[in-house]
Structure 1
Amino acid sequence: MNTSISALPVHLAPATVLTQRLPSAAQLKQQLPLSNALARQVSQQRQAIRAILNGDDSRLLIVVGPCSIHDPLAALEYASNLAALAHDLRDDMLLVMRAYIEKPRTTVGWKGLAYDPHLDGSDDMAHGLTLSRELMLEMLGMGLPIATELLQPIAAGYFDDLLGWVAIGARTTESQIHREMASGLALPVGFKNGTDGGVAIASDAMRSAAHGHRHFGVDSQGHPAIVQTPGNPDTHLVLRGGHSGPNYDRTSVAKARAGLEKNAIPARLMVDCSHANSGKDPLRQPEVFNDVLAQRLEGDRSLIGMMLESHLFEGCQPLSATMRYGVSVTDGCLGWDATEQLLRGAAGKLQAQRQSALAIA
């Protein structure tokens, strides 16, 4: 029996959905192109990160920057500071700029620069996509590798040519859609452990992403498409703690490493020094960082790096008409001065160990 929509009961009739056409990923990339020189730079940065993951480069991989970007001027000032520091510490660390322009929300809230660049609920996503790509290109121009969390797979195509490293968050690591997306990314991807603190979900995600998939998606012109992916061999685990507490201590790291090895997955671990590992206290991040650094200095080569949430000034603030410059509007962050002191101190310890090893040799 054919039933018209108008004849359906009210509770079964489809809701009215308002839509607005966005530029396709191909159109935005054409409008804001990646130059040949920067494309080579991104390729080299990805290869440098792969070398750390594979143990061919002994440096630590440090993903550091604001929890989320909301103020382009403050973000670029932070990036300028980080670029200078990255140059100074280049022998011991590879610093990667957090350029997070999407934010997962447990219920509702500001979803990030790509969604609401004006911070007023207007959700001017067309401008948000343009502004986000412009910022990433400026950061690349400073020589920085770029990291982000890919939350909305449709949005990934607007930035995938700019990124050196990608995170899949604790809430989306279990998602088949995100595993399929990761299998098609030609760059390293870190899967965070689930919110329960266990690593089994992330382990399954890495195994899935390593394989090729055929899945529903969109092409670069924005048309629905069957997407075929080759599989991604450059994934790793990110320990971020869970409901039961932190998981960066030696026992937790050893348990995570054993779980990966049991599933024949390369044991390469990054520790997120924020979130449950710091008890959501941004000022405890150095404590977590230094504990992980000590494990690395003691010889645990499975620990390939750390992640820090850091901005120009410490803390966080709500969205308002009178916001403080350089302060996060999502998770609380470590301030720049404390971040620089922490990273320079760590580089000094790594350098001392490296020089000691050379002297013995």
Structure 2
Amino acid sequence: MNSSISALPLSTLSPANEALTLRLPSSLQLKQQLPLTHTLTQQVAAHREAVRAILNGEDSRLLIVVGPCSIHDPQSALEYAGKLARLAADVSDEMLVVMRAYIEKPRTTVGWKGLAYDPHLDGSDDMVGGLTLSRELMREMLRLGLPIATELLQPMAASYFDDLLSWVAIGARTTESQIHREMASGLSMPVGFKNGTDGGVGVATDAMRSAAHPHRHFGVDSQGHPAIIQTQGNPDTHLVLRGGHRGPNYDVQSVAHLQNDLQKLKIASRIMVDCSHANSGKDPLRQPAVFNEVLEQRLNGNRSLIGMMLESHLFEGCQPLSQSLRYGVSVTDGCLGWEATEQLLRNASLKLRVPEAGI
């Protein structure tokens, strides 16, 4: 997976700051280098429609977004994707399983920013190689039949992957950003806005309302030129609860309070629960407990809970970046291991079948 497009050095911005700029390929160039077949394009369109149907209550399945906190190793990511594709087929009557392919990571201060930024994990920041590798990797996942999800952090990077994605997250740190709301308003796939890091949902509901409207905003076209972007508005948004500084927000009382707020704002009550982050107290092994409590709410009739998100990798836990990384272990947030993930989703599938079987 090597890039055939090299970065082109340009002159420094000014002698004062001595900032070196490197020219990236345009998103059109990368898409032409790594195109989607007609079959894969149709597959992405079908997956997006399936997600929309769940959001709109036309499909009774649960939407499950699951996979590594971040992808740092293509080999382990593809091994995970292969396992997930087989599991997704087995539980497809009860769940639409979407693969987390997160190649950008928000940082509170500094740290590794993700595969798209630093694919060699060494601070060299080969972003041309990172963009190319990330697109190649997502395309391989699509070939396995999986819908793909990611968090869009840098708006300029979105157009390199937008044709591959069936679901997108806007993170807790960027949900309040006008730029990300404008971007979301022009995306062709459903978007989940996370509540703020304080646990409040006001910024997310504001974001959903903003993204639903058309916008004109500054941007970059597919050939890499500055442009005025005109969007149509995105009606396919929903809320993602990830807890906050004061603790979890997935319990029955929190969800009921939120549903009441959404009704007052005349926003469709479509809620996904992120079983990680503050909802699990940042303990990856608590994710199943969160998942099962939300599942019980769903089984008890709360159809506003349209899905869950899990951070999961081949093996549980996490590790710091080093010269000797353990295979299949996250280098960012801790993850649930594959065996526990598979057991959790298979058990959930059985529980979801029970009402339909009249048992």
Q: When the two structures are superposed, what TM-score results if normalisation uses the length of structure 1? A: 0.95
Amino acid at match of 1:171: R
Cα shift at 1:13: 8.0
Shift in Å at residue 257 of structure 1?
A: 1.2
Aligned to 2:281: 279
Deviation track 1:163-217 (CA, whole Å, cap 9, x = no partner) reads 0000000000000000000000011000000011011110000000000000000
Q: Measure how far apart 1:30 and its partner are.
A: 0.1
Residues 41-120 of structure 1: pairs in structure 2 closer than 5 A:
41-120=43-122
Deviations 1:12-64 (A, max 9, x none): 98522111111000000000001100000000000000000000000000000
For 1:183 and 1:293, how far apart are their aligned partners in 2?
Answer: 30
Which residue of 2 is the match for residue 267 of structure 1?
269
Say if 2:245 is the partner of 1:216. no
Deviation per residue, 1:109-166 (Å, 9 max, x gap): 0000000000000000000000000000000000000000000000000000000000
Report the counterpart of residue 301 of structure 2 in structure 1. 299
The equivalent of 1:203 in structure 2 is: 205
Q: In the alignment, what sits opposite 2:317?
A: 315
Contact kept, 8 Å, 1:32 with 1:134, in 2: the verdict is yes
Q: CA deviation at 1:306?
A: 0.1
* CA distance in 1 between partners of 2:247 and 2:63 (Å): 24
Give the ranges of 4+ consecutive aligned residues of structure 1 lying more than 6 Å apart after TM superposition: none
CA shift, 1:258, in A, is 1.2
Asked whether the 8 Å contact 1:236–1:268 carries over to 2, the reply is yes
TM-score by length of 2: 0.95
Aligned to 2:41: 39
Matches within 5 A, 1:99-178: 99-178=101-180
Match of 1:342 in 2: 344
8 A Cα contact 1:199 1:259, kept in partner: no
Q: Choose the corresponding residue for 2:196, options 188, 194, 197.
A: 194
In structure 2, what is the Cα distance between the partners aligned to 1:304 and 1:204? 20
How far off is 1:256 after superposition? 1.3
Find the residue that maps to 1:306 and give its secondary structure: strand
Structure 1: any 5+ residue segments left out of the alignment?
1-11
Corresponding residue for residue 6 of structure 1: none
1:259: Cα distance to partner? 1.3
**Cα distance between partner residues in 2 of 1:57 and 1:312:** 30
Q: If you compute each CA radius of gyration, which structure gives the higher value, 1 or 2? A: 1
Equivalenced residues, count:
346
The answer to whether 1:326 aligns with 2:328 is yes
* 1:18 aligned partner: 20
Write the deviation string for residues 196-241 of structure 1: whole angstroms up to 9, x where unpaired.
Answer: 1011110000000000000000000010000000000000000000
Aligned to 1:229: 231
Q: Distance in 2 between matches of 1:125 and 1:197?
A: 33
Deviation of 1:268 (Å): 0.4
Alpha-carbon distance between aligned partners in 1 of 2:220 and 2:239, rounded to the nearest angstrom:
28
What SS does the corresponding residue of 1:161 show, helix, strand or coil? helix
> Within 2, Cα distance between the matches of 1:117 and 1:20?
17
How big is each residue's C-alpha offset from its partner over 1:237-291, in whole Å with a ceiling of 9 and x where there is no partner? 0000000000000011111111111111100000000000000000000000000
Alpha-carbon separation, structure 1, partners of 2:16 and 2:294: 52
Partner of 2:247: 245
Output the CA distance in 2 between the equivalents of 1:141 and 1:319: 30
User: Is contact 1:186–1:232 with CA below 8 Å preserved after alignment?
Assistant: yes
| CA distance in structure 2 between the aligned counterparts of 1:113 and 1:172, rounded to whole angstroms | 19
Q: In the alignment, what sits opposite 1:5?
A: none
Separation in 1 of the partners of 2:156 and 2:225? 11
Q: Output the amino acid matched with 1:154.
A: M
Instruction: Indicate if the aligned counterparts of 1:117 and 1:128 stay in contact, CA closer than 8 A.
Output: yes
- What is residue 4 of structure 1 aligned with on the other side? none
Amino acid at match of 1:230: Q
Output the CA distance in 2 between the equivalents of 1:28 and 1:256.
42
In structure 2, how many angstroms separate the alpha carbons of the residues matched to 1:264 and 1:135?
39
